[in-house]
Amino acid sequence: MFCTRCGIELEEKDRYCSQCGKGIGNGPTSAAAAGSARVPLSRPREGKKIAGVCAGFARYLDVDVTLVRIVWVILTVIPPVPGLIAYIVCMFAMPKDPLPVSSPLTTAASH
């Protein structure tokens, strides 16, 4: 692969040209810039503690779920009413992930 600006040879893993600094368009930076890789905000059915609100926000923001849970606890303890109300509102407003579609072979084998 070659840089379209300066013409030097690049490796497949490169995201930027080492000579001129032009973005190549490979890797997660191009998908994030396009906005097509954004996961919808929803509550997961697995990996949740209470209602899955923190896990859903962590997946949406692409951060660790423990960090989101710590921040949410701090926001709930310091001003107790707004944090608790926000969690309850998100619990009812955020949709759950859809159920996984089972194939006809798995359904027939389980009977």
DSSP category for residue 15: S
* Greater model confidence, 103 or 61: 61
**How many domains would you assign to the chain?**
2
3-state secondary structure of 10: coil
For 3, the domain range is: 1-38
Residue 108 resides in a domain: no
Q: Is 29 within a domain?
A: yes
103 lies in some domain: no
Amino acid occupying residue 57: F
Say which residue the tokens 């930076």 belong to: 29
H/E element holding 29? helix 28-34
Output the pLDDT for position 32: 45
Residues 1 and 21 in one domain: yes
What is this structure's pTM? Answer: 0.55
For the chain, the residue count is: 111
Q: What is the pLDDT of residues 64-107, one digit of tens each?
A: 888 988 888 888 888 778 888 888 888 888 888 777 777 666 55
